Structure 1
């Protein structure tokens, strides 16, 4: 699977500009994934392409960030390091076959994120101040399903599933601290698999999140690659 393109399609920046094979992505500064360069191919002028990217983000008041994944331009990572760009958020790609396993907890699944779903996800992963509206715009930029285990009408564990051909992209997995270690994330994941179908799934998780990596591994997903960001 071409994970660079799968992730790009499942988490779409609403402003995109191409430059010599690279995709410059902007979405109001919310998440590095949607506000970074996807550097595919080999530009004829590497230094010129980097300069174009830096100008693009400077014009929008954002730092220039590169997503360096399996298909990144050869030699780019070293060039960025030499220019003072630091590695940020090393991330593991996990994927594998999935089966329709029992969903232990009652799980609500909808075609669009509702307010409670958004608030729970943002409470866990909202590192970008007042960017919830921008985050919702990113999420709904492509067809997806939204799942949640609720308690007293309040989502306490959530996730987002994006059907992509025969595979499922899993995003926005988040559980409130008070509801952790109860298997709720497992139910959310399984509910998305049941809803979306397909024979395989993939997701990305920060390398430091050992608990999540163990959970996904127990559900049949194995580490298939990695990527990181370079930010100056």
Structure 2
């Protein structure tokens, strides 16, 4: 596995609306909505770092945006130290956590059941029966929370966006629409538990990327995030994914604890440099 595998997976799963090549670096723009879609992806072994950073700064100034860099395992050697020397500070140190997904055995039941008449919905994960023994496998449905089922849809509906934006959103209606365009830039599945919790899964070959895990403030500590995550993992296995990854801000200890309990371990780290 190459050093830049997660840099590239994350970039493809969260596609910026604008992409400009600058000597092998990708200058990403999306109207300032999300750092990931409005930052330099500085992959490759460029040695002319100072002029490369100068060009990036000039580009983003022309866009009316701050210049930010996503510095991950595949970043150009020496770039992080150079940015620090130029006055860039570290923002949002983030962990990339991974877990294996066991293949679905022939004849095995689905991790979610189809929901008749669900429109764009793909299916749902029913709550386990009373007294059922919980499975320890990564991606198995979990108990806890209400009896509502996890719904999987092929696009983010208004209710899904309401929940996610209430937790992670920055800005008004225009910013929310830009975020929706970013999310729908690649095929994905959107899991929801009514107006209480949501998540997004992107199947990328043998990888499943998990994004947008969010629980409304009034619905926390009920096991909803666990159920959403397991529904997405189950869907990924159905689609042939063999591994799952997700990105979590290092300071989010509650989310990290949940992911660790579900078998995720830290595989890589990245952060942003902004000035």
State the TM-score, normalized to the length of structure 1. 0.95
Instruction: For residues 158-192 of structure 1, give each alpha carbon's deviation from its aligned partner in whole angstroms, at most 9, with x where no partner exists.
Output: 00000011110000000011111111001101111
**1:78-227 alignment to 2 at 5 Å?**
78-98=81-101, 99-104=138-143, 106-130=149-173, 131-150=175-194, 155-197=195-237, 198-227=241-270
Aligned residue in 1 for 2:27? 24
Aligned residue in 2 for 1:45? 48
Bigger strand fraction:
1
- How far residue 19 of structure 1 moved from its aligned partner, in angstroms, is 1.0
Determine helix, strand or coil for the equivalent of 1:59.
helix
- Which sections of structure 2, spanning at least 5 residues, go unmatched? 102-137
Determine helix, strand or coil for the equivalent of 2:186.
coil
CA distance in 2 between partners of 1:46 and 1:72 (Å): 11
- How far residue 137 of structure 1 moved from its aligned partner, in angstroms, is 0.4
CA distance in 2 between partners of 1:102 and 1:124 (Å): 24
- How far residue 55 of structure 1 moved from its aligned partner, in angstroms, is 1.2
CA distance in 2 between partners of 1:14 and 1:20 (Å): 19
CA distance in 2 between partners of 1:200 and 1:128 (Å): 34
Residue 21 of structure 1 contacts residue 42 of structure 1 at CA under 8 Å; is this kept in 2?
Answer: no
CA distance in 2 between partners of 1:128 and 1:6 (Å): 26
Match of 1:72 among 47, 70, 75: 75
CA distance in 2 between partners of 1:229 and 1:129 (Å): 24
CA distance in 1 between partners of 2:52 and 2:45 (Å): 10
CA distance in 2 between partners of 1:100 and 1:158 (Å): 16
Q: Compared with structure 1, are the counterparts of its residues 129 and 83 closer, same or farther at alpha carbon in structure 2 (3 Å cutoff)?
A: farther
Instruction: For residues 36-79 of structure 1, give each alpha carbon's deviation from its aligned partner in whole angstroms, at most 9, with x where no partner exists.
Output: 00001122421111011111111111100000001111110110
**Aligned pairs, how many?**
228
- How far residue 194 of structure 1 moved from its aligned partner, in angstroms, is 1.7
CA distance in 2 between partners of 1:187 and 1:119 (Å): 19
- Which sections of structure 1, spanning at least 5 residues, go unmatched? none
Residue 139 of structure 2 contacts residue 229 of structure 2 at CA under 8 Å; is this kept in 1?
Answer: no
Q: Greater CA radius of gyration, 1 or 2?
A: 2
